[in-house]
Amino acid sequence: MKIREIQDEILQKKRENDIFVLAHSYQSREIIEIADFTGDSFQLSLAAKKAGSKKIVMCGVRFMAETVKILSPDKSVSLANPKAGCPMAEQHDKTLIQAVKDQYPDYTVVAYINTTAELKTVCDVCVTSSSAVKIVSKIPSGNILFLPDCNLGAYVANLLPEKNIKLLQGGCPIHAAVDAGDVDKARADYPDALLLVHPECVPEVTHLADFVGSTSAIAEYAVNSENKSFIIGTEISIAEHLRYRCRDKKFFCLSKKLLCPNMKITTLIDVLDCVNGDGGEEITLDEKTLNEARVCIDKMMELGA
């Protein structure tokens, strides 16, 4: 079967069954083409909430599908490929974080959205890469415990020196693999290009960047910039998608190490099986987890607005 034929079948099933397909911006081109909405993790949750459809299919990783379910508990939310997980989201467990909280009762626990629904139940407020600085700056307490991404946490701490931010060890193994040596090489190869990186990169990389932002913020920056070439310091698909969006500009990937296997595991066939009802996994969270995890997401909405 040709890619176009599979896409047409998916589009037809979506229409027949009123299914809304979400794709994170790290997904492949052929999936993005059939999605109803593509964006960063925060934008995906909002789009799902606003969507009229009762059935949502998430092409991304598990924590994204869980977040959609927490925000839209009455909708049926399926993860197109059940094996797609984010290793960072599973780095800390609830018991450990509860113990740390008990030890530091006057600290506000800030969780990056890349966490399991279970872990969110013991966190005070959630942040995304696009909202972290704004939200942490608005938290009344000066004492913050930030998890699980110590690189995003360090980026926030650098911009908000008035806050006492404790970081737990953790982070994205893909972004953390890139170092200053990769930046030096890319700058030497593409001297006219601006370097745009994700805050999940290590501080030695974010300090050298011309712009630091979420996947969507990086794309918007490149689209609106007068500059004609860019080194993209996040998952390789962003550089590829931008080449389609801006034919007059050049996009180079900061490093070949920036390939997230979990984001690439979902195929067009998985999406077809999922919309046909014989693939994917419907996300189920018990009432208690849904209600407790929603508290820190609601707080994120309130402070991020």
Residues found near ligand SF4 in the complex (CB under 6 A): 61, 86-88, 114, 172, 174-175, 200, 235, 260, 262-263
- Looking only at residues 72 through 131 of this chain, which bind ligand 13P when binding is defined by CB under 6 A? 86, 114, 128-129
| Closer by beta carbon to ligand SF4, 108 or else 115 | 115
State the minimum distance, in angstroms, from the CB of residue 198 to ligand SF4: 8
* CB-based closest residue to ligand 13P: 40
Q: Which residues neighbour 140 within 8 Å (Cβ) at sequence distance 6 or greater?
A: none
Using the rule CB under 6 A, which residue among 172, 183, 231, 283 binds ligand 13P? 172
Q: Are 238 and 244 in contact (CB under 8 A)?
A: no
- Smallest separation, CB 98 to ligand 13P (Å): 25
Size of interface with ligand 13P, in residues (CB under 6 A)? 11
Q: How far is the CB of 198 from ligand 13P (least distance, A)?
A: 6
Answer yes or no whether residue 195 interacts with ligand 13P by CB under 6 A.
no
Q: What is the CA radius of gyration of the chain?
A: 19
Among 114, 67, 121, which Cα is nearest to 94's? 121
Binding partner of residue 262 among ligand 13P, ligand SF4, none, CB cut-off 5 to 8 Å per kind = ligand SF4
Cβ–Cβ < 8 Å for 111, 132: no
Residue with tokens 């979506």: 14
What residues make contact with ligand 13P under the rule CB under 6 A?
Answer: 40-41, 86, 114, 128-129, 172, 198, 200, 214-215
